[in-house]
Amino acid sequence: MPKKRAQKKAVKLSQPVTTNNISAAVKKRIREAWVADPAAESHMRELGLEFELQVIRMDDIARALSLRNNARIGESLIESLALDYAVMRESGDVFPAPVVSAAPTTSSKLYVTASGNHRTEMERHLDAEYLMAYVITTDNPAAVDTFARSINRKEGERQTSQEAMVHALSLIHISAPTRPRLISYAVFC
C-alpha cells in the first residue's frame, strides 16, 4: 500500500462481481470500498502473473497460511495497523484491493493472501463477509512467492535492505528453470 494511508476518492473497479449469491446492495458496498492498485497490477504483470478482480468470501482465505506467506521477515501482522485501517474504513476511506492466490491443496480454504494481510485483517475486525481482491490465476508457485516477497520492497511498510537480501537468498531454492529470471528480478528490485 502506498505511504499515504488511504485514498478518499474511489476509482470504480471495472471487473464483474463473480459471487452470485450476494445482494446488489452488498455488491455495491464492496465495489465502493476498494480501489484498483496499479502498482500491484504492474508488479504481477512484470512477473508474468495473470489475475482478475473478484469478490471473495473472507472465510475462504486461509488466515494462518497468509500470515506465513513470506512477505515479511519479522512480524507478519501489525495488529495496531489493521485496527487503524478499520477506523479509517469506518470513516469512509477506501483501500487498494489485496492480492490472493490459490491455497495449497492441503488446505480446506481456497485462497492465501499474497499481499494485503493488514487490509484483510481490517475486514475481519469489521466482520466483513466479502471483499474485493485480485485473484492470481496463474499456476506458478515460484512467481507467486517472488511477488509476495518483493511487493513490500515497492509498497506498504517497506522492507529493509537486509530483509530484501534474505528474501533474495531464499529464492535460491526455486526450481532451476525459473530461478535465473526470478532471482535476478528479486535482487534488483
Cα–Cα separations (whole angstroms), residue 109 to 59, 143, 167: 8, 21, 26
- The tens place of each residue's pLDDT in the chain, 189 residues long, gives 443 444 433 333 434 444 567 788 888 888 888 999 998 999 899 889 999 999 999 999 998 888 876 555 556 688 898 999 999 999 999 999 999 998 888 888 999 998 888 899 999 999 999 999 999 998 888 888 878 877 765 555 555 666 555 545 555 544 444 445 544 444 444
Pairing of strands 34-35, 95-96: parallel
CB atoms within 10 A of CB 8: 10
The number of helices, as runs of H, and strands, as runs of E, in the chain is 8, 6
Cα–Cα separations (whole angstroms), residue 88 to 130, 138, 147: 18, 33, 27
According to DSSP, the residues that pair with 83 across neighbouring strands are: none
Q: Under a CB-based contact definition with an 8 Å cutoff, are residues 8 and 89 in contact?
A: no
